[in-house]
Structure 1
Amino acid sequence: MSKQVYQLGPVEYGFPSPELALDEPDGLLAFGGDLSNQRLKLAYQSGIFPWFSEDEPIMWWSPSIRAVINLSNFHISKSLKKYQKKNNFIVKINTQFESVIDSCQQQRVNQEGTWITPSMKQAYMSLHQTGLAHSVEVYHNNKIVGGLYGIMQSGVFCGESMFHTMTNASKLACWALVNWLQRHNAHFIDCQLTNPYLTSLGASELTRQEFLTKLKLAQKYKMPENMWQSQELDNIYE
């Protein structure tokens, strides 16, 4: 098989090898198919993710350079530690998934447009209902002020988006996620594409092959049964 954009059919769920993704635009592998639970599950297992705008077909990507956060490398600034101690934040998981994805969508619309289209939202809501998509929520004075969501079906948390309405609340959500993953001996966070914000949190870059090798190792991870049960996380910043 050669490097080209492959069209996915409506029935077969398989993907071409990520190594066949285009060099330009970097990482574009295929288009078409659907956003069914089965196809999305296979995509993330294969190191592939969907990313497209509302007026575009479904497009599937596996970039040549992948951003990841190794849990031990997460960077917590002194100012963030002081900020967390000064304010009475509460962190919960999987109690307000729809509110989190709605807030992520709205923040992106306000800034530069969003890939969280109605069909994407519906797909990830379905994944959440089947136990594959999860949210981390940060509360202040009984109001949700930040959070993130993503996919976890092995030792990797595949981050999709985050938001904040209060200073540093998205960083606090990420910090809580890292600590929660460490408590359960998970492997790393897949951030997909790098940016200065993620770099400031300790994200590093891997080649596609390096990423796929780490992803394969993470498939051996056995997720604790109650890891993502809806709950408040006690002492998550300690």
Structure 2
Amino acid sequence: MSLDNTIYYLTYENIIDTNILFNDIYSNENTNYYFSDDFSKEFYIHLARCGFISTTTIYEEKLYLLPELQFEYALLDFENLHISKKVEKLIRKDNYIFKINTRFEEVLEKIDEYHNPNWLIGDYHKLLLELKQKDDSLPDFSIMSVEIIDKETKELIAAEIGYKIYDTYTSLTGFSSKEKKYNNYGKLQLVLLAKYLEKENYAFWNLGHPYMEYKFDLGAVKYSRDDFLKRWLAKVFI
């Protein structure tokens, strides 16, 4: 939550105005969360380009977009990737299929089943489905689902949703099966995704909040907002 407990209303006009963006938003070290009722593609994509990671909140029975300019970020440079012995064992076991964007809507359904409450609902859910449709006017931005499928049963057992901007990838949310036989398949999904991103010449992976130990176990490094923005804006800002 913002340090001063203030959440400001944010508009598309605010963030395309570089004076407001740099002098009022980026420089405000006491605020991280903003809110809006604008679920348009244009606003969402420009928020992402500016370094916001957006979720949602419900207030007085209305769903609002909740863009966050985080105080800190976890970034993975692929040369720092760490693979645990348990994940190495799963890789050798080879009883899974790794896919990108083959079961997108099912991934959304599984995330909804897994997370209670789930912020990826309503107009946000509709927005992701809209963004998933091919749009030649958005060559630099694309929504992705990353999937681990049981090779024998074809069951979706771990997956996440994120987005690509130029040569960066940002995670949004995901799930992994709670069945005991699928222990560590969520970590397997992360490792295989890192390997995929490296193979496809991505610059780095933005894992968002640096408060979960698994991100550091994977090899991520914590960045302050200022240090994150120096790397991020050099890559994706227009």
User: TM class by shorter-chain length?
Assistant: 0.7 to 0.9
Q: What does 1:52-67 align with in structure 2 at a 5 Å threshold?
A: 52-55=56-59, 57-67=64-74
Does the CA contact (< 8 Å) of 2:158 and 2:175 recur in 1? yes
After TM superposition, the structure 1 stretch with the greater mean CA deviation from structure 2, 118-127 or 50-59, is: 50-59
Flag the structure with higher helix content: 2
- 1:188 corresponds to: 204
CA contact (8 A) 2:36 2:65 kept: yes
> Does the 8 Å CA contact 1:53/1:114 hold for their aligned counterparts?
no
CA spacing shift, 1:58–1:22, aligned 2, 3 Å: farther
CA offsets per residue over residues 52-92 of structure 1, 9 Å max, x none? 32345322211121111222212210121112212411111
| Partner SS, residue 75 of structure 2 | strand
| Equivalent residues of 2:86, 2:184 under 8 A apart | no
Report the TM-score when normalising by structure 2.
0.80
Q: CA deviation at 1:212?
A: 1.1
Take 1:86 and 1:145, find their aligned partners in 2: how far apart are those partners? 15
Asked if 1:44 corresponds to 2:45, the answer is no
* Alpha-carbon displacement from aligned partner over 1:162-198 (angstroms, at most 9, x marks no partner): 2111222222221121111111211111111121222
For structure 2, the residue ranges without an aligned partner over 5 or more in a row are 136-141
Residue 35, structure 1, aligned to residue 39, structure 2 = yes
- Which runs of 5 or more structure 1 residues have no equivalent in the other structure? 221-238
2:90 touches 2:188 (CA, 8 Å); kept in 1?
no
Please give the TM-score of this superposition, normalised by the length of structure 1. Answer: 0.80
Pairs aligned (count): 211
SS in structure 2 of the partner of residue 83 of structure 1: helix
Note closer, same or farther for the CA distance 1:21–1:96 as it changes in structure 2 (3 Å cut): farther
Q: Structure 1 CA distance, aligned partners of 2:76 and 2:113?
A: 25
Which of 146, 159, 176 lines up with 1:164 in the alignment? 176
| Rounded Cα–Cα distance in structure 1 between residues aligned with 2:228 and 2:26 | 12
CA shift, 1:20, in A, is 4.0
Amino acid at match of 2:143: A
Identical columns (%): 22
Determine helix, strand or coil for the equivalent of 2:174.
strand
- Residues 50 and 61 in structure 1, CA contact (< 8 A), matched pair in contact too: yes
* 1:117 aligned onto 2:121: yes
1:208 & 1:101 partners in 2: Cα distance? 29
- SS of residue in 2 equivalent to 1:125: helix
Task: Give the Cα separation in 1 of the matches to 2:235 and 2:38.
Answer: 26
